[in-house]
Amino acid sequence: MTVIETHHLTKYYANGRIQALEDFNLEVTPGMIFSLLGPNGAGKTTLIKLLLGICFPTRGKAKIFGQDIKNYSCHSKLGYLAENHRFPEFLSAERILYYYGKMAGLNRSYLLERIPELLELVRLKEWGKVKIRKFSKGMLQRLGLAQALINDPELLFLDEPTDGIDPVGRREVRDILLALQERGKTIFLNSHLLSEVERVSDEIAILKNGKLIEKGNVQQFISVKHTYQLRIQNGKAELPDILNQFQISAQEKDDMLLISVSDEQQLNQFIDELRKRQLMIQAIIPHKVTLEDFFIKVLEDSQPS
Amino acid sequence: MNSKILALIQITFRESLAKKTFIAFFGISTLICLLFMFALNLDIVDGMQSSVALFGQESKELIDIEMLIFKIESAVAVLLFSGGLFMSLFATSGLIPSLMQTGTVDLLISKPLGRFHILLGRYLGAVAIVGFNVFYLVIFSWLILSLKTGFWHAGFLMAGIMIVLTFAILYALMTLLGILTRSGAFSLMITYLILFFSPLLLQRDQIYALLSGKIWGILLDSFYYFLPKTAELGNITRLLVQGQPVFSWMPLWTSVVFGILMLTTSTYIFSRKNF
Ligand SMILES: Nc1ncnc2c1ncn2[C@@H]1O[C@H](COP(=O)(O)OP(=O)(O)OP(=O)(O)O)[C@@H](O)[C@H]1O
Ligand SMILES: [Mg+2]
């Protein structure tokens, strides 16, 4: 069972002059937080718009909850936070949630209960009765998130959800997303904030010029195989000798030593040797790069092709 | 489905109200009703005859009340048919372009609503607010006048329906233009042009006397039958108010066909549009 699947999904604009998305294949399974990364104009928003029927594919097919995207009935199980979303500015936050909830097919008594909860969740409780033309950018974004959650959706599309939100708010958004995942919801995220993405996502895909250039598990991407960070307290002079003995390459990084071993067995023998020589190990941790490093490297590697 | 479309209609209603034009419309209507209520005094002297006082100024002659009511009701209908339509078209011209803005239309499409329903909700919302304003004036002035005189003419209520229908037909054109151009000002301009140009086609006999060639005659005739016939619709409205027989309903049904055609085309284009 997949929540989202696309087959050769392609979208051209301007009679084929702009290739916004090219032969895109993807599967998102339930309960996953999936993030789509890519530079500006890579086609991230285009993909969401195609999936929601806001624009139509040039070629290819896609399904949401097993239904063809042409069928809008599955939209009652979706939530969407659009990039640059625009609400009627003459309405109050509560009214907006009410009308949009109605359009999602929800009834009045459910909405009257749900709306205060959501305003509380996105920290707009005191602003419910205020016309949104008085809202700041971050507040509008919070309202957008509340709107996306109005029907307690099974699948949530968020296009740059933390855009304009302050650092504390971003952490709150992150907690909201993780809590939703806990409840089995699937989340599809577009974001440029790679540190956020790294913290919440299970899988990522990287798009460039409409083409998929990398896809997979985040933890696998950012942990570097057989490389560990080592910190010892004393006996630094003896180290080169031991490293030589095991033929382990090492490089210094801050107050740590980055070592690359051939396998875990060698790592353990190495540790035994350190202990035998009475060196005090303070820490030994698997080495990770940041998602940002990985992202930039992937984009650079894709440059020549 | 109905309650979803209702929410769209309500939002459209609120958006139109926020434009203030309809508040002005409503204010003028209220003033007219108050005028009828307090400033117009009819002293029924002798069954059918009465003396009339407007703002306390009593006219000397006795007047046939029923004629007077017809006159007042016609005046209200003419006011609504000209000024009311003019204002309504002006106030609703931005609704379709604002619906189509990125960020607005995206959110609506992400709801379990077909594109046809989105457009229909918008269209009906506009017709609803105009209908509300027109019937506010029509029903209240009708009640006041009828209560004061005892003459209850249903024709005046029919005129209200005609005015809203005329708006609905013209608004269908404006909807199509709005979808094609995304410009409220442009759609309004063209719609006004049709509104004022179509009465000229009534005089097409004189126009083709000036032009040589049969083709012009056919062209003008087709224009005439295709476009909404606002002058004749106004005429039908007047006849209805005065309780006179309407000899030809052709202008009405051909105009309705035009409206339906515009709406169908709008839906077709709107449901295939990439946003
Ligand atoms: N309606 C449109 N008409 C023509 N071209 C479009 C349209 N929408 C998007 N594009 C083009 O498609 C490409 C992909 O745009 P898209 O909005 O999907 O990028 P994105 O990855 O979301 O970028 P960002 O990170 O800036 O949000 C861009 O080159 C853009 O210019
Ligand atoms: Mg985008």
Q: What is the pLDDT at residue A245?
A: 86
Is the separation of the CB atoms in A164 and A113 below 8 Å? Answer: no
Q: Which residues of B touch A103 (CB under 8 A)?
A: 4, 7-8, 108, 111, 113
**Is this complex's ipTM strictly greater than 0.90?**
no
Q: What is the pLDDT at residue A50?
A: 96
pLDDT at B96 over 90: yes
**Tens digits of residue pLDDT in B22-51:** 899 999 999 988 888 887 776 665 555 566
Q: What is the pLDDT at residue B53?
A: 65
Contact A84 B10 (CB under 8 A): no
Atom of ligand 1 nearest to the CA of A21: 14
* A12, A51, A54, best to mutate vs chain B, most B CBs in 10 Å: A54
* Domain ranges for chain B: 3-18+67-272
Tell me the pLDDT of chain B averaged across its residues. Answer: 88
**Tens digits of residue pLDDT in B183-230:** 999 999 999 998 888 788 887 777 777 777 778 888 888 888 889 998
pLDDT at B253 over 60: yes
Contact B11 A84 (CB under 8 A): no
Beta strands in A121-271 (DSSP E): 155-159, 186-190, 203-208, 211-217, 223-232, 249-253, 256-260
Q: How far is CA B85 from CA B164, B165, B173, B242, in A?
A: 9, 11, 14, 20
Q: What is the pLDDT at residue B59?
A: 64
Whether the CB of B272 is below 8 Å from some CB of chain A: the reply is: yes
pTM value is 0.88
- C-alpha to C-alpha distance for A204 and A189, rounded to whole angstroms: 9
Q: What is the pLDDT at residue A292?
A: 86
Q: Which residues of B touch A49 (CB under 8 A)?
A: 106, 275
| β pairing state of B40-46 and B49-54 | antiparallel
Residue A238: both structure tokens together: 């003896």
Contact A85 B114 (CB under 8 A): no
Contact A102 B7 (CB under 8 A): yes
* B12, B15, B110, B117, best to mutate vs chain A, most A CBs in 10 Å: B110
| Model confidence band, residue B2 (pLDDT cutoffs 50, 70, 90) | confident
Q: What is the pLDDT at residue A252?
A: 82
Atom of ligand 1 nearest to the CA of A207: 21
- C-alpha to C-alpha distance for B178 and B201, rounded to whole angstroms: 25
- C-alpha to C-alpha distance for A226 and A259, rounded to whole angstroms: 8
Residues of chain A with pLDDT under 70: 304-305
- C-alpha to C-alpha distance for A171 and A192, rounded to whole angstroms: 15
Contact B14 A54 (CB under 8 A): no
Q: State whether residue A157 is helix, strand or coil.
A: strand
Q: What is the pLDDT at residue A72?
A: 93
Q: How far is CA A239 from CA A244, A249, B35, in A?
A: 8, 11, 102
Q: What is the pLDDT at residue B58?
A: 63
Q: What is the pLDDT at residue B225?
A: 87
**Tens digits of residue pLDDT in B117-175:** 999 999 999 999 999 999 999 999 999 988 888 888 888 999 999 999 999 999 999 99
The one-character DSSP state at A304 is -
Q: Which of residues 47-86 of B touch A (CB under 8 A)?
A: none
Q: Which residues of B touch A76 (CB under 8 A)?
A: 112
Q: How far is CA B91 from CA A13, B15, B99, in A?
A: 34, 10, 15
